[in-house]
Structure 1
Amino acid sequence: MMKKRFSSGSCNATLIPFTMVLSFSLFSVLYFFNADSSSRFNHVSSVLNSPSFPRNQDQSLRSEKPTERDPQHSFLQVESQISCDRSHYHYDLCSINGPNVLDPISSTFYAIGPTSPRKFKQKIRPYPRKWENLTMSKIKEVTLISGPKGPKCNVIHNTSAVVFSAGGYTGNFFHDFNDGFVPLFITVRSMSLSNHDVVLVIEKSRDWWVSKYSDLLGAFSNYPIINLDNETITHCFKSVSLGLVSHGFMTIKPRLMPKPTTILDFHYFLNKAYGKAQQSDFTIPMTRPKLVLLSRSGGVGRVILNQVEMKTMAENMGFNVIVFEPKPENTLFEAQRLINESHVMVGVHGAALTHFLLLRPGSVFIQVVPIGIDGVAEMCFGKPAKEMGLTYLEYKIRVEESSLVNRYNKSDPVLTNPMSSNKNWWADLGKVYLKEQNVELDLIRFKDYLKYAYNKAKRFMNKVG
């Protein structure tokens, strides 16, 4: 039996600008060495136990409790309603622990309570890529104010609000989940609210994005989305939380949740959102394992040049092969139905591999890893796939399988030692290893991977259908 290979490789399927990649590199170093640091996450469990988290405050907000005769007592009560936790590497969190009113024109939340001539203010960019200064500079700031009386309410909501941005890298399928829906799932699950009992207030809530993910957004909230960019009337809430909690790349850490929760729970959440039971029942019995081949074409890079031959080989082996090239117009409902009913998924590293979240636990997931992106491939897809209970196989291509051999000398560090020898690796990640590189699989070597996957898929198919 072939030995499974687990290694690592970039989450973004599109060309990554130098500045973004450079900042991403700094994150990677810190992430691998500090992601599990208790000092970075030791507040999370207690912070998230309240409907109006977080209770951890900035140093500027901490003060001794005033006596009842303190003339500033009423003001400090209002000021203490606003709290911000800026201790995390990936994100900031702010909240108003009590009634508040949103003025969407100025993107400002006013605490409702005793008034004071003194104004207390905090600002937040509610997007969980805090370490990337360039990205965060393009995220709209939202303001929280206590003190002076805010505007009157036009609409009163008898529930809480969660505020976040769908800007940044939103629109790339990987980032839609890594920076959006997985952190949103963590955040909402960490709030002591019943299902759907939250209003989503979203900056950059573009129509095409809402349409594409309407079923998934509806699984988070029964209420209409408030578009922070287009809304013109004021709204009042019982409390509000701004920002999304991220545990790292495509992961959910049970020890940081009020109740044990994993990425597998998010998989079941997706199934529920799209009307699927946790275990699929098929009306038509399958005799051949279904293999979904995620395809890439055009000038996007990481194309399988001998895809036709690879597909034929898999079919001759006994697979029912479905070629799936995701397009912007594809709904997630269509993808969920296809992927959830398959037994094997194969694809080259890229954003489309995010579809692994739709595979049933026990399915086989083969990631083809081009040269130069080992560590990022593991971080973005390999590690979370194993956490979700998939049989994960990594096919690391050899130099002779990369189209880069036609551009560079075989002794060039770009090919022989990308991480250690090429000082420009981070700059080349987007331009060279993702954009310019295609792969031509060694079908003799890859056949061993398919054989292993076929045997696993047959046992899985016989077990669950």
Structure 2
Amino acid sequence: MVTKLRLIRNGNQCRKYRHAAVAAGFFFVAMAFLVVYKPRSLAVPNFGFRASIASPDSGSNMVNGEDHARNSLASGRNDDKQEEAFSENYYISDSKKESGREFKDTTMSNQERIMHVELPIVSNYTAPMQLAAGEAIRRRKPLCDVSDPRVDICEMSGDIRITGNSSSILFIEPPAAARPPEQWRVRPYPRKGDDTCLGGVRQFAVIARGDGPRCTVEHGDVPAVVFSVGGYTGNLFHDFTDLLVPLFVTARPFHGKIQFVVADWKSWWINKYLVVFRKLTDYPLMDLEQQSAGQVHCFKQVVVGLRAHKEFLIDPVRSPNGYSMVDFTRFMRSAFSLERDTLSAANSSHPPRRKPRLMLIARKQSRAFTNVPEIVAMAEELGFEVMVAEAEAGSDLARFARVVNSFDVMVGVHGAGLTNMVFLPANATVVQVVPWGALEWIAMLDFGNPARAMGLRYVQYSIGIEESTLRERYPREHAVFTDPMSFHRRGFAVVRSTFMVRQDVKLDVKRFRELLGKELGHMIQ
């Protein structure tokens, strides 16, 4: 009997152990699920313990995900502030920076922020390194960025010294930097790789070292931009795509508080665009060769070179403050005090409506119209008021800009004269006549894409063989007509000499009339 009772008791205990084992199994499965799929639900209450990584102050720009290191010159931050930020061990998650836009996390609770470990922000300087003596130094990035295919840019903040009539720009390292000497050679003109162009551009040595000549001119907190007006200056298209557009992108964020340091000075060129410079800077331009000879100019911030994106274009994603070609043309109309901002504004301010005005850009050398009187007569029959013009290199640009701004349509063969479209009111029309030779891609690159980016209506007209004077030079079975792309495969120099230098245009006025008629109808609507 006793034996039977012991067997019953042992059986009951086994059943209890089995139930406990099943319960424990469910518990561990549930915990495993939470650990894998909902780890934040396991956060423990805060009992006064602090995270090992100091959380940034709520007023810090780092909390909002703003990376000022990349645009330190534009924002006005100096090295001392950068060092201060890093000395406080501020951190931010990389996931909070997307396409350069600010990201604010509003979904995390205070408790989650305490338990959240984030990665350090990428900056121009690394976090402090502890030396044997307990001393911290900053490791900076290289002074120059030569990765862009169009231009080399050097950006410096600290003690920078520029000696007049010299080709050296010195960055004076702090005594505790303990870095080996650093040297870069750059030509501050955005035509990288074009040896013909850069042959007329001064080369600068940007050097980082521990000492330098004594300062004779202190510029205080005014930053400097160093650039050259050598290269292809004098060609209207290159004046804009190589210098004026990049100058706008580089200097506009400083709102006039910028000193231009000019190499390869050309007085006639500076005077031609003086109204533009006066709009960009509050300070006289510095002639590095003449006015500054023998002087040592000291700055706290310097940019060597100009920011350039694409041919006659601004990339809003890469430009400070999201500047675009619409902003640039608005700036140019303001600089030259032009009356009309948009075509629609002109219609309402001049009742009754006058005839639409058409400017025909007539080149005098290559790619010239050979039947200008016929083109003018045809356009006038359609109802246009027509003017034939071409801006010369030495012409009064301010006067010509006012003339261009009074027109509604600009027509011209591919060439520098079409650059004047920057003075047209928004919504005006640009008609580019493309010579024979499969040049459509060049036409779009130089003027088609820029025109659309400026807020202009763009129309492209490609001529036929019968409209090209090349038929007077070559038989119809020649590769010039049967396989023009074969010339492209031999390089741009061959393309230029064959299709751009030795070709003029006799426009088919009947065919072109159809195009102008459609544009006139569009304007009336």
Q: TM-score, normalised by structure 2?
A: 0.71
Counterpart in the other structure of 1:161: 224
Q: Does 1:410 align with 2:449?
A: no
TM-aligned CA distance change 1:423 to 1:262, over 3 Å? closer
Q: Give 1:98's aligned residue.
A: 158
Match of 2:36 in 1: none
Deviations 1:413-450 (A, max 9, x none): 11232114675463322222111100001110000111
What per-residue deviation string (whole Å, max 9, x for no partner) do you get for residues 133-172 of structure 1?
4433542121222324222222222300011111111111
Cα displacement string for residues 308-360 of structure 1 (whole angstroms, at most 9, x for unaligned residues)? 11011111211111111211221221122111121000001001111111112
Q: CA deviation at 1:405?
A: 0.2
| Structure 2 equivalent of residue 186 of structure 1 | 249
Give, in angstroms, the shift of residue 112 of structure 1: 4.2
Paired position in structure 2 for 1:339: 404
2:336 to 257, 274, 284: 274
CA distance in 2, matches of 1:453, 1:289: 11
Structure 2 counterpart of 1:48, which letter?
Answer: N
Query: Structure 2 vs 1, CA of residues 308 and 54 (structure 1 numbering), >3 Å: closer, same or farther?
Result: farther
Given the superposition, is the C-alpha separation of residues 70 and 315 from structure 1 closer, same or farther in structure 2, using an over 3 Å criterion? farther
1:153/1:323 Cα in 2 relative to 1: closer, same or farther (>3 Å)? same
2:298 pairs, out of 236, 259, 269, with: 236
In structure 1, how many angstroms separate the alpha carbons of the residues matched to 2:250 and 2:401? 23
Equivalent of residue 466 in structure 2, options 388, 400, 408: 400
Distance, in Å, in 2 between the alignment partners of 1:365 and 1:118 is 55
* Residues 332-411 of structure 1 mapped to structure 2, 5 A cutoff: 332-372=397-437, 373-411=439-477
- Cα distance in 2 for partners of 1:254, 1:137 equals 31
| Stretch of structure 1 that moved more, 443-452 or 325-334 | 325-334
Tell whether 2:360 aligns with 1:293.
Answer: yes
Mapped to 1, the partners of 2:190 and 2:199 lie a distance apart of 13
Unaligned runs of 5+ in 1: 1-43, 56-60, 460-465
1:32-181 counterparts in 2 under 5 A?
47-48=70-71, 50-51=73-74, 65-69=128-132, 80=140, 83-112=143-172, 114-115=174-175, 119-158=181-220, 159-181=222-244
Name the aligned partner's letter for residue 179 of structure 1.
Answer: D
Amino acid at match of 2:363: R
Quick one: structure 1 residues 447 and 229, their matched pair in 2 at CA, closer, same or farther if it must change by over 3 Å?
same
Instruction: Give the structure-1-normalised TM-score.
Output: 0.79
Question: Secondary structure of 1:123's match?
Answer: strand
Look up the equivalent residue of 2:458 and give its one-letter code: Y
Runs of at least 4 residues of structure 1 off by over 6 A?
52-55, 61-64, 70-73
Contact 2:405 2:425 in 1 (8 A): yes
Alignment of 1:246-265 (within 5 A): 246-265=308-327
Equivalents in 2 of 1:69, 1:359: separation in Å? 65
* Percent of pairs with identical residues: 33
Give 2:473's aligned amino acid: R
- Counterpart amino acid of 1:317? L
Number of the residue aligned with 2:43: none
Give the distance between the partners of 2:501 and 2:227, measured in 1 at CA. 31
1:425–1:87 distance in 2 versus 1, CA, 3 Å: closer
**Counterpart residue type for residue 301 of structure 1:** S
- Judged with a 3 Å threshold, the aligned counterparts in structure 2 of structure 1 residues 117 and 388 are, in CA distance, closer, same or farther, namely closer
| Structure 2 counterpart of 1:327 | 392
Q: Check the 8 A contact 1:81/1:111 in 2, yes or no.
A: no
How far apart, in 2, do the equivalents of 1:70 and 1:168 lie? 51
Residue identity in the other structure for 2:400: A
Q: 1:33 matched to which residue of 2?
A: none
TM-superposed CA distance for 1:198, in Å, is 0.5
1:8 paired residue number: none
Aligned to 1:219: 279
2:495 to 425, 429, 435: 429
Rg comparison, structure with higher value:
2
Q: 1:247 to 1:423 in 2, by over 3 A?
A: closer
Q: Secondary structure at the match of 1:96?
A: strand
Q: CA RMSD in A?
A: 2.9
Q: Deviations over 1:198-229 (max 9, x none)?
A: 01112122001001100011111111111223
What do the CA deviations read for 1:281-325 (whole angstroms, capped 9, x no partner)? Answer: 66786511111111112xx21110001110111112111111112
The amino acid across from 2:70 in the alignment is V
| 8 A contact 1:82–1:97 mirrored in 2 | no
1:65-116 per-position Cα deviation (integer Å, ceiling 9, x unaligned): 543556997xx75x84862111111111112212322112222222345358
**2:375 aligned with 1:310:** yes
**What is the SS of the residue equivalent to 2:155?**
strand
Structure-1 separation of matches of 2:327 and 2:179: 48
Q: Which amino acid aligns with 2:282?
A: N
